[in-house]
Amino acid sequence: MNSDTKPTHEELTQGKVPGAKTGIEVRKTICSICNPHSHCGIDAYVKEGVIVKVEGTKENPHSEGTLCSKGNATRQYVYHKDRIRTPLIRKGERGSGQFIPISWKEALDLIASRLLKVREESGPESIVFYVGFPKWMRPFVKRLAHNFGSPNFCTESSVCQKARYLANGLTYGPLGAPDIERSKCLLAWSGNPFYSNTAIVREILDARERGLKIIDVGPLITPLTAHADVHLRIRPGTSGALALSMANVIIEEGLYDRDFVENYTLGFEEYRAYVRQFPPKLAEDITGIAADKIVEAARLFATTKPACMLNSPNATTHHTNGLQNHRAIIALIGLTGNYDVEGGNPLVKPGYLNVANGLVTRDSEFEQSRGWDAMPPRVGQDLYPAWCKIVAEGQSVHIPHQINSGKPYPIRAMLAFGLNHRMWPGQDFMAASLQKLDFLVDVDIFMTDTARLADLVLPACTSVERSELKFYAEQYVIWTQPAIRPQWESRPDTDIIFDLAKRMVPEDSLMQKGYEACIDWMLEPTKLTVEQLKKYPAGYAVPGVKMPPFRKYEKNGFGTPSKKMEFTSTILAEVGQDALPVYTEPGLSPRSTPEAAKKFPLILTTGARLPMFVHSRTFRLGWTRSLRPDPMADMNPRDARDRCIAQEDWVSLSTPRGSLRVRANLTEMVSPGVVNMYHDDPEASVNLLIEPDYLDPISGYPGFKSLLCEVKRIDGAPP
């Protein structure tokens, strides 16, 4: 705009042009409505302290100026009427949702005094420090918990990517992400980045144009399937059988990497003998995939070098047999010699908040400031010992069970950041368990159904109202700066945590120095500082980052007890589980429970991502909810026809645990015999239909993605 003249007609009608005349300033920030893989750059157009429009930041190399439907609804998120405005203390009965405002000082003093009292009476372990899907405040909460003496830092990752991490850890030590850019073949085993991880879609499509072969394994047809050479449309929960059968083909046909197997692995002969039990014909019966397709995929993956594997954080582990399934899947990487090689799955040590971009930080040292041996056992440690050997957190799924049993010790209080009880299988059981605590604090942006169960509720602000350190895989780093001031009396979570640290861990001298000092401490090996990063509000492209070499195992071995890649897991054997990646049927399936399948003949898979929703977060936004206004279950038209169900009919979706009223969405995207339902819909939350103890025995993971159900038309239901 020309600042000497009046705004032009075009400028006035657009109305959102930055400059002196309009009073609009563009401030750089990030969106954190969805997962930390993304966090797209936002240009916030701010007028008089109010965001009037958002656009994607073009210079952000990760998001390249794009925002999805959720990010575009940022104004609806930030200015939503459900935002918590002040600290609130419960006035009425537990769970009545009646609160009165109190001051920040009163609230923080009360938390500290109540938690110190519980610690004195029942020990620090009786207090759980919990963080839900938000990740950015985790290092500080974990350090606060441990220095307070509690081993119970627990997170949403107990149902997200930690079982995959556990399977990787048991088999390889760590396993790296796929190097799609330099690969010739991508085995995308579960996962649909077009909806769930948009930032890697460009990488996949660019590589595809260069000739990348794609094998897509999953029960649904997704946008990724359209780009695949082979689609293995698998029955949910049977990935282990498919992987073992592919290994059978690869070994029988001599397509495996002999040098790698002979020199760097443990238990190959036992594994070879075991996979002989899974010829493609048998795997066809189990998985529903034609035997010749299994052979085709196995040959393609084993003979196209280098090949890499992409896995969903959890679609293979959200099954009662998930941990071993996932071990069987990832064994294919080592078997074919694609571990830690260019174009395969190279290993890069993760830096800040687990972003593996070659920049090494000190966050594990920061957060794990006390050894496990110096603390009592964690939640779930007796039941999930393998978990506790690999994963540096408690197993959150076990929290409600331990609240009820009081064994091996009582859990009495919880300090939670972003707690959503609908995340748990049998969410009503979790809600009822929370009501048994002596003291529950929930810090959230919105007054959620879970916050209503708390004794004290604190208002957190959103990413556009705070500062945080953001690492991107592209060696791009941002110290974000607030685009607007925190709304109402909300505050950044870190302000709350550091104020509590003053009251609860005064002896922790580093935390007493505050948030920025702690970030500087973690960043120290990178030579970056917060002060320096403040000069680059849109982000800083760190020059000269050296990536580690390939095949580090040749020198260092693997991070397993035997220092080898373990086809037979030493740790699993030690804890009394099968050392081999054995295949068992899902707990509820047409094969394992044929009696139950008579009444519930369809397979239910839940939580496949939709582009407009992120868990519980965006149902309340008008724009995103309008894209799917009612709760819907996806089913194949053939199954619908058999049940006289038409598109958008109201139906009951039932499992042995209960029923929900939802609308039917008829689509060929799901196979006949399968029903798919998104989770967390406040009007029909599918986790009400899943038993709280429907769990994988090794990881404690819920069987979210394979159980049994039936769908029936609700006669006389309103249209």
Ligand X SMILES: Nc1nc2c(c(=O)[nH]1)N[C@H]1C(S)=C(S)[C@@H](COP(=O)(O)OP(=O)(O)OC[C@H]3O[C@@H](n4cnc5c(=O)[nH]c(N)nc54)[C@H](O)[C@@H]3O)O[C@H]1N2
Distance of CA 409 to the CA centre of its chain: 29
- Of 68-76, 235-243, 380-388, 533-541, which segment contacts ligand SF4 by CB under 6 A? 68-76
In the complex, the smallest distance separating the C-beta of residue 35 from ligand X, rounded to whole angstroms, is 4
Residue 704 found at the interface with ligand X (CB under 6 A): yes
Residue 705 found at the interface with ligand X (CB under 6 A): yes
Please choose which of ligand X, Mo ion, ligand SF4, none residue 321 contacts, taking the beta carbon within 5 to 8 angstroms, the exact cut-off set by kind: none
In the complex, the smallest distance separating the C-beta of residue 481 from ligand SF4, rounded to whole angstroms, is 17
Structural element, H or E, at residue 710: strand 707-713
Which of 53, 70, 75, 398 is in the footprint of ligand SF4 by CB under 6 A? 70
- Of 97-105, 205-213, 393-401, 605-613, which segment contacts ligand X by CB under 6 A? 605-613
For residues 160 and 651, which CB has a smaller minimum distance to Mo ion in the complex? Answer: 160
For residues 160 and 230, which CB has a smaller minimum distance to ligand X in the complex? Answer: 160
Tracing tokens 């006390």 back to the chain, one arrives at 370
In the complex, the smallest distance separating the C-beta of residue 704 from ligand X, rounded to whole angstroms, is 4
- Subset of 158-217 contacting ligand SF4 (CB under 6 A): 198
Residue 42 found at the interface with ligand X (CB under 6 A): no
Q: Are 57 and 538 within 8 A, CB to CB?
A: yes
In the complex, the smallest distance separating the C-beta of residue 694 from ligand X, rounded to whole angstroms, is 11
In the complex, the smallest distance separating the C-beta of residue 525 from ligand X, rounded to whole angstroms, is 27
Please choose which of Mo ion, ligand SF4, ligand X, none residue 444 contacts, taking the beta carbon within 5 to 8 angstroms, the exact cut-off set by kind: ligand X
Residue in 575, 572, 603 with CA at minimum distance from that of residue 587: 603
Q: What backbone torsions phi and psi does residue 24 show, to the nearest 5 degrees?
A: -100, 135
For residues 38 and 238, which CB has a smaller minimum distance to ligand SF4 in the complex? Answer: 38
Please choose which of Mo ion, ligand SF4, ligand X, none residue 315 contacts, taking the beta carbon within 5 to 8 angstroms, the exact cut-off set by kind: ligand X
For residues 446 and 479, which CB has a smaller minimum distance to ligand X in the complex? Answer: 446
Which residues of 456-547 form beta strands (DSSP E)?
Answer: 456-459, 469-472, 476-479, 540-541
- Of 66-74, 100-108, 370-378, 641-649, which segment contacts ligand SF4 by CB under 6 A? 66-74
Per-residue contact flags (x/-) with ligand SF4 for residues 16 to 55, judged by CB under 6 A: ---------------x-xx---xxx---------------
Q: Are 269 and 317 within 8 A, CB to CB?
A: no
In the complex, the smallest distance separating the C-beta of residue 605 from ligand SF4, rounded to whole angstroms, is 23
Residue in 393, 340, 395 with CA at minimum distance from that of residue 364: 393
Residue in 11, 17, 1 with CA at minimum distance from that of residue 53: 17
Residue 330 found at the interface with ligand SF4 (CB under 6 A): no
Q: Are 230 and 293 within 8 A, CB to CB?
A: yes
Q: Which two tokens stand for residue 75?
A: 């104004």
- Subset of 588-627 contacting ligand SF4 (CB under 6 A): none
- Subset of 371-400 contacting ligand X (CB under 6 A): none
Per-residue contact flags (x/-) with ligand X for residues 455 to 494, judged by CB under 6 A: -----x--------------------------------x-
Residue in 159, 155, 194, 200 with CA at minimum distance from that of residue 180: 200
Residue in 704, 664, 599, 49 with CA at minimum distance from that of residue 320: 704
Residue in 38, 86, 61, 204 with CA at minimum distance from that of residue 447: 86
Q: Residue 167 and residue 170: Cα distance in Å, rounded?
A: 5
Helices (H), strands (E): how many in the chain? 27, 25
In the complex, the smallest distance separating the C-beta of residue 74 from ligand X, rounded to whole angstroms, is 13
DSSP class of residue 344?
Answer: S
Q: Are 215 and 186 within 8 A, CB to CB?
A: yes
For residues 220 and 330, which CB has a smaller minimum distance to ligand X in the complex? Answer: 220
Q: What backbone torsions phi and psi does residue 198 show, to the nearest 5 degrees?
A: -60, -25
Which of 72, 265, 312, 487 is in the footprint of ligand X by CB under 6 A? 312
Alpha carbon separation from 257 to 132, 250, 253, 273 (Å, rounded): 41, 10, 12, 17
Distance of CA 269 to the CA centre of its chain: 35
Q: Residue 393 and residue 600: Cα distance in Å, rounded?
A: 36
Residue 204 found at the interface with Mo ion (CB under 5 A): no
Structural element, H or E, at residue 202: helix 201-209
Which of 63, 190, 324, 636 is in the footprint of ligand X by CB under 6 A? 190
Which of 195, 256, 260, 583 is in the footprint of ligand X by CB under 6 A? 195
Q: Residue 175 and residue 157: Cα distance in Å, rounded?
A: 17
Q: Which residues pair with 346 in a beta bridge?
A: none
Residue 179 found at the interface with ligand X (CB under 6 A): no
- Of 283-291, 523-531, 635-643, 679-687, which segment contacts ligand X by CB under 6 A? 679-687
Q: Residue 24 and residue 47: Cα distance in Å, rounded?
A: 5
Which residues of 118-243 form beta strands (DSSP E)?
Answer: 127-131, 153-155, 185-189, 213-217, 230-232
For residues 331 and 614, which CB has a smaller minimum distance to ligand SF4 in the complex? Answer: 614
Tracing tokens 């290994």 back to the chain, one arrives at 247
- Subset of 137-176 contacting Mo ion (CB under 5 A): 160
Number of residues that bind Mo ion (CB under 5 A): 1
Please choose which of ligand SF4, Mo ion, ligand X, none residue 654 contacts, taking the beta carbon within 5 to 8 angstroms, the exact cut-off set by kind: none
- Of 19-27, 142-150, 524-532, 610-618, which segment contacts ligand X by CB under 6 A? 610-618
In the complex, the smallest distance separating the C-beta of residue 628 from ligand SF4, rounded to whole angstroms, is 16
Distance of CA 388 to the CA centre of its chain: 19
Residue 500 found at the interface with ligand SF4 (CB under 6 A): no
Tracing tokens 């077009």 back to the chain, one arrives at 194
In the complex, the smallest distance separating the C-beta of residue 70 from ligand X, rounded to whole angstroms, is 7
Residue in 16, 82, 60 with CA at minimum distance from that of residue 620: 82
Q: Please tell me whether residue 134 adopts helix, strand or coil conformation.
A: coil
Number of residues that bind ligand X (CB under 6 A): 58
Residue 378 found at the interface with ligand SF4 (CB under 6 A): no
Residue 126 found at the interface with ligand X (CB under 6 A): no
Residue 313 found at the interface with ligand SF4 (CB under 6 A): no
Q: Which two tokens stand for residue 652?
A: 């009951």
DSSP secondary structure string for all residues of 86-116: S-EEE-SSTTS--EEE--HHHHHHHHHHHHH
Q: Residue 674 and residue 685: Cα distance in Å, rounded?
A: 18
Please choose which of Mo ion, ligand X, ligand SF4, none residue 608 contacts, taking the beta carbon within 5 to 8 angstroms, the exact cut-off set by kind: ligand X
Please choose which of ligand SF4, ligand X, Mo ion, none residue 40 contacts, taking the beta carbon within 5 to 8 angstroms, the exact cut-off set by kind: ligand SF4
For residues 143 and 162, which CB has a smaller minimum distance to Mo ion in the complex? Answer: 162
Q: What backbone torsions phi and psi does residue 27 show, to the nearest 5 degrees?
A: -115, 140
Please choose which of Mo ion, ligand SF4, ligand X, none residue 71 contacts, taking the beta carbon within 5 to 8 angstroms, the exact cut-off set by kind: ligand SF4
Which of 239, 304, 320, 577 is in the footprint of ligand X by CB under 6 A? 239
In the complex, the smallest distance separating the C-beta of residue 198 from Mo ion, rounded to whole angstroms, is 15
For residues 410 and 586, which CB has a smaller minimum distance to ligand X in the complex? Answer: 586
Alpha carbon separation from 157 to 310, 313, 368, 394, 458 (Å, rounded): 19, 10, 17, 10, 22
DSSP secondary structure string for all residues of 8-77: PHHHHHH----BTTTTEEEEEEE--SS-TTT--EEEEEEETTEEEEEEE-TT-TTTTT---HHHHTHHHH
Residue 191 found at the interface with ligand X (CB under 6 A): yes
Binding site for ligand SF4 (CB under 6 A): 31, 33-34, 38-40, 67-68, 70-71, 198
- Contacting positions for ligand X (CB under 6 A): 34-35, 132-134, 156, 159-160, 189-192, 195-197, 217-220, 222, 234, 236-237, 239, 312-316, 318-319, 417-418, 420, 423, 443-446, 448, 460, 493, 605-609, 611, 613-617, 679, 686-687, 704-705
* Interface residue list for Mo ion (CB under 5 A): 160
